[in-house]
Structure 1
Amino acid sequence: MVLVKATEDSEAGVLPTAEAFDAMGRFNDALAAAGIMQAGDGLRPSTQGKRVAFDGPRRTVIDGPFTETRELVAGFWIWEVKDMDEAVAWVKRCPNPMPGPSEIEIRPIYEMEDFAAVLDPQASR
């Protein structure tokens, strides 16, 4: 999973310019043509979001906005790549997703085989 980190601009609801939108569209088209992009989208600012905090059986709903803007996600892709090096190479080709400095985080998604020991306790013995 490729995560576009939020910035003050994205949290303020600043939309991309037409040029930036077109550049990202071309990048997404290249990802799709290469068979890499499985899904992707931008997220609205956290002012429009909610969190649900869990503590045992209790659930507490927390309204946005959320603090620590740099820890929030402004958008995402789900890519199918052969390894982390390929993901990094694609991210380096990505147009800057924000008007100013920004970050993109790459995180592998768990596969079912990662849970083999949990699903079959005998397998871990």
Structure 2
Amino acid sequence: MRFMMIVKATTDSEEGKMPSQELVEAMQKYNEELVKAGVLLAADGLQPSKNGIRISYPEPGGKPKILDGPFTEAKEIIAGYTLIEVKSREEAIEWALRMPDPHGFGQGEIELRQVFEPEDLTDNPEFLEKESALRKQVEELKKA
């Protein structure tokens, strides 16, 4: 089971305020623990939304609409994420609870969401076979 720990943005992260050295070290230690446990798939912080772009589809089949950041409502914006693969929802919660306050100022908020697996979306064997082949291709490209 894959889960994404979504770190919500704060006014500080949206202003581009960098985390303290202590927080950087705490997050590095946490990520090392995830690696040692064999559950870490990816982890990254994101730049403020002022550097972002939103693409929306206001009408079915219509032309996409492009909007440059910054975006309002910091609570709805993502500041970073950690993607893990674990055996259960409970294990994902345990890892999320171990993450240091992601902003270090008492404003941190993490949203934990399970990732859909291809088998969750369809039982069509042709689709699942193609999806598996694509994932293998991606892994091979990473190795090259």
Output the TM-score relative to the length of structure 1: 0.90
107, 110, 116: which one aligns with 1:101: 107
SS in 1 for 2:122: helix
Residue type of the alignment partner of 1:2: M
Corresponding position of 2:53: 50
Deviations 1:80-113 (A, max 9, x none): 0111111111111111011222210111111111
1:15 aligned to 2:18?
yes
Residue type of the alignment partner of 2:54: R
Corresponding position of 1:80: 85
Deviation at 1:33, TM superposition (A): 0.6
- Correspondence list, 1:23-38, <5 A: 23-38=26-41
Task: Return the alpha-carbon distance in structure 2 between the equivalents of residues 91 and 108 of structure 1.
Answer: 12
Task: Return the alpha-carbon distance in structure 2 between the equivalents of residues 23 and 102 of structure 1.
Answer: 14
Deviations 1:68-88 (A, max 9, x none): 110110000110011111111
Identity of aligned residues (%): 44
Deviation at 1:61, TM superposition (A): 0.6
Task: Return the alpha-carbon distance in structure 1 between the equivalents of residues 111 and 75 of structure 2.
Answer: 11
Q: Which runs of 5+ in 2 are unaligned?
A: 126-144
Task: Return the alpha-carbon distance in structure 2 between the equivalents of residues 47 and 116 of structure 1.
Answer: 37
1:61 aligned to 2:83?
no
Q: Which runs of 5+ in 1 are unaligned?
A: 121-125
Corresponding position of 2:94: 89
Task: Return the alpha-carbon distance in structure 1 between the equivalents of residues 47 and 122 of structure 2.
Answer: 36
1:112 aligned to 2:118?
yes
> CA-atom RMSD, angstroms?
1.2
Residue type of the alignment partner of 2:69: G
Runs of 4+ in 1 over 3 A off after TM superposition: none
Task: Return the alpha-carbon distance in structure 1 between the equivalents of residues 96 and 113 of structure 2.
Answer: 12
